[in-house]
Amino acid sequence: MKNVISLMIAALAGVLAGCAASLPPPELVNARQAYERASVGQAAQVVPAELHKAQEALAVAEKSFQDDPTSFRTRDLAYIADRKAKMAEALATTSVENAAAATANKQYQATQADIVNNTKANLAASELSAAVVGGALVAEQKARLDAEKKAADAQADLATLAATKAETITLSGSVLFATNKSEILPAAQGRLNEVSDALLSKKDRNLTVEGFTDSRGSSSSNLELSQQRADVVRSYIVARGYPSDRIRARGIGEDRPAADNATAEGRATNRRVEIVVDSAVQTQ
């Protein structure tokens, strides 16, 4: 019995010793894990050569472990394999970071180019807008000048009109003619001579002699009388030396009264002869 127990103890010790001998050292365990991690990471794609070195180092360590599991050489080879696996991982990370930096630098340059292009486009748009605005300003300025010119022309027309009206010479009918007559009264000849002499200094103007009556009597007779009186005055002025082709006579009748026909005074004012001196100078 004692011998049997001794044999069992010896057998157990042998088994334990065998197990202890087959257990890998911590360095090898770490190397295996490091390689496993590196092989499933970026290293396989990015730095396959470095990963291959780690694989070879691990294989050497495994071989040493099989040959001499407990030797310092096995532990050191496993240690080196672990570092080579970590080295592969580190180089893979470096490569990825370098690629990221290169991509970022390209993006930076591309972005700068975009900004330059956008700036150029904005500048061109601004210039175009400025040109449009400038064109609008020019058009506005032209319109303003046109309006000012029109206003000036209108002012000039008004001035011309005023000048024309100012050169309308009004002669009282009561002074020139007897009632319902168209012969010039002798007393009026002096006044008419003064007017004629004044007109002779402006022979280059067209004259219109207009006869007016008051509202008494028929319109037709008034028109006829006014025409006769205008003709007489015209003839008188021509006789005084004014060019006949530049003076005409026109009977207006009772139209265009200058005063109220309801009163005697107004009617006297309406009986008149007006000599309109054209402001335009005739060259021929």
- Residue 177's identity, in one-letter code, is F
* Residue 77 Cβ vs another protein, minimum distance, rounded to whole Å: 8
Rg (CA), the chain: 64
* Residue 99 Cβ vs another protein, minimum distance, rounded to whole Å: 8
- Residue 124's identity, in one-letter code, is A
35, 81 contact by CB (below 8 A): yes
SS3 47: coil
Q: Measured from the CB atom, is 91 or 249 closer to another protein? A: 91
Q: How far apart are CA 171 and CA 210, in angstroms?
A: 10
Q: How far apart are CA 215 and CA 226, in angstroms?
A: 12
Q: What's the farthest any 2 CA atoms get from each other in the chain?
A: 194
Q: Hey, how many other C-beta atoms are within 10 angstroms of the C-beta on 122?
A: 10
- When binding is defined by CB under 8 A, the residue of 63, 73, 144, 165 that contacts another protein is 73
243: nearest Cα among 279, 196, 280, 211: 196
Q: Measured from the CB atom, is 111 or 263 closer to another protein? A: 111
- Please report which helix (H) or strand (E) contains residue 212, including its range: strand 205-212
Write the interaction track for another protein spanning residues 106-135; mark x where CB under 8 A is met and - where it is not: -xx-xxx-xx--x-----------------
Q: Which two tokens stand for residue 206?
A: 């067209």
Q: Measured from the CB atom, is 68 or 194 closer to another protein? A: 68
Stretch that binds another protein, among 73-81, 165-173, 216-224, 226-234 (CB under 8 A): 73-81
* Residue 153 Cβ vs another protein, minimum distance, rounded to whole Å: 54
**Taking CB under 8 A as the rule, does residue 105 contact another protein?**
yes
* Residue 65 Cβ vs another protein, minimum distance, rounded to whole Å: 15
210, 273 contact by CB (below 8 A): yes
Among positions 75-104, residues that touch another protein (CB under 8 A) are 76, 79-80, 83-84, 86-87, 90-91, 93-94, 97-98, 100-101, 104
Q: From residue 220, how far is each of 208, 216, 217, 251, 254 by CA, in Å?
A: 21, 11, 9, 10, 9
* Residue 61 Cβ vs another protein, minimum distance, rounded to whole Å: 12
Q: Report the DSSP pairing between strands 168-172 and 247-253.
A: unpaired
Q: Measured from the CB atom, is 38 or 207 closer to another protein? A: 38
Q: Measured from the CB atom, is 101 or 258 closer to another protein? A: 101
* Residue 58 Cβ vs another protein, minimum distance, rounded to whole Å: 13
* Residue 22 Cβ vs another protein, minimum distance, rounded to whole Å: 22
Write the interaction track for another protein spanning residues 13-32; mark x where CB under 8 A is met and - where it is not: --------------------
Beta bridge partners of 184: 177
* Residue 37 Cβ vs another protein, minimum distance, rounded to whole Å: 15
Q: Which two tokens stand for residue 30?
A: 């770490």
Q: Measured from the CB atom, is 6 or 109 closer to another protein? A: 109
**Residues at the contact surface with another protein, assessed by CB under 8 A:** 72-73, 76, 79-80, 83-84, 86-87, 90-91, 93-94, 97-98, 100-101, 104-105, 107-108, 110-112, 114-115, 118
